[in-house]
Amino acid sequence: MADTLLDDVGTLLRETADQVVVPLFRKLDAADVAEKAPGEIVTVADRRAEELISAGLRRLRPGSVVVGEEAVAEDQGLLRHLRGGGEVWLVDPVDGTSNFAAGRRPFALMIALLTEGETVAAWVLDPLADTLATARLGLGTYLDGRLVQNGGTDPAPSALRGMAVTRFLPPAARDRVQAGGSRIGELLPGQHCAGREYLDILTGEQQFALFWRTLPWDHAPGALLVRAAGGVARRFDGSEYHPADDGRGLLVAANERVWDEAREALLAD
């Protein structure tokens, strides 16, 4: 029997976007937006989408555990499952909530599947662009059904294009990154949507992305998408990214050489 997991979860994301998320875009009232933590907002679309996605994933994999961004906001203890056994889903129902709430694009819906603590599958959907990326560990990354292979992308440092979220960086690191921007082709400020940043690495729109905050639902899906396409997702010190790690700082690149060049330009003392 064929394994239809990638298609089944992709369909679930598209249905959730069509039924819940996109209809509420630019239609939110003040009562539909709340602050769940200082500087962090949640909308009715986030909550409804997470409910729909979580129910669908449990139907697809009975006995699996769902760790959703909004559920974790209510119960931090759910994060323990990221180091546990069995099948665990990480869900970001609306990545880029601040964009969504302000009526701006981009935003995305994202899922990663962990098995015995290892990320084995990933999905990122940009519903307004109608772009879906999927990956399965060992089987590659697909963008709208086409195999993506970014490992051969090899521009010179002066031609590198990528983004760095400097807002949350420690002051010394922020200064280094901003100064290092002059050593590469173009340093972008970021789009407030991690999912879109990862998609842009897959499409070649940019070759790297640098983050400080690394909440697991923001990065587990994209990290696998990039890695399965021949790319790299590592901490600033060169250690491999894992969604259960508490560390800060993540540099994602289309391949090893780009990672080395971006780190040298932006992070070296």
pLDDT tens track for 45-69 = 999 999 999 999 999 999 999 999 9
Contact between 206 and 229 (Cβ < 8 Å): no
Beta 208-211 vs 161-164: how paired, if at all? parallel
Question: What average pLDDT does the segment 69-94 reach?
Answer: 96
Q: Say how many CA atoms lie within 13 Å of 141 toward its Cβ.
A: 27
| Pairwise CA distance, residues 17 & 121, whole Å | 20
pLDDT tens digits along 141-191: 999 999 998 766 677 778 899 999 998 899 999 999 999 999 999 999 999
Question: What average pLDDT does the segment 124-135 reach?
Answer: 98
Classified as helix, coil or strand, 1 is coil
Residue that has been written with the tokens 């100064």 in this structure: 179
**pLDDT value, residue 2:** 57
More confident residue, 40 or 48: 48
For the entire predicted model, the pTM comes to 0.96
**pLDDT value, residue 246:** 80
